[in-house]
């Protein structure tokens, strides 16, 4: 699922507001900086996943003939390769 920059901002703001309201955190920086940090973290994670997806698409070109013949399911192979690469790299998806 792709999120817009605005959706990411709203999600980060809601997270911080909720954590502050529940007194689950006591930030050492001002609220706006904390929100920006969370936004950057979420955006960075999405960028890592998008780079991984691009790498999977490149690797899948090797299987294009089998996919076209119906010997291999594109979505299943995509997920298998993605999970394997993520595991090798210690990524949590």
How many Å apart are CA 72 and CA 39, to the nearest integer?
Answer: 38
Give me the chain's average pLDDT, please. Answer: 96
Task: Enumerate residues 6+ apart whose C-beta is below 8 A from 57.
Answer: 78
Banded model confidence at residue 93, pLDDT cuts 50, 70, 90: confident
User: What would the pLDDT profile of 36-75 be if each residue is shown by its tens digit?
Assistant: 999 999 999 999 999 999 999 999 999 999 999 999 999 9
């Amino acid at each position: 699922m792709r999120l817009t920059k605005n959706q990411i901002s709203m999600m980060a703001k809601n997270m911080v507001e909720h954590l502050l309201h529940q007194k689950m955190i006591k930030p050492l920086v001002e609220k706006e900086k904390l929100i920006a940090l969370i936004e950057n973290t979420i955006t960075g994670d999405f960028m890592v996943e998008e780079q991984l997806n691009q790498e999977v698409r490149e690797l899948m070109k090797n299987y294009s003939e089998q996919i076209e013949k119906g010997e291999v399911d594109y979505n299943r192979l995509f997920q298998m390769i993605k999970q394997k690469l993520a595991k090798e790299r210690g990524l949590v998806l």
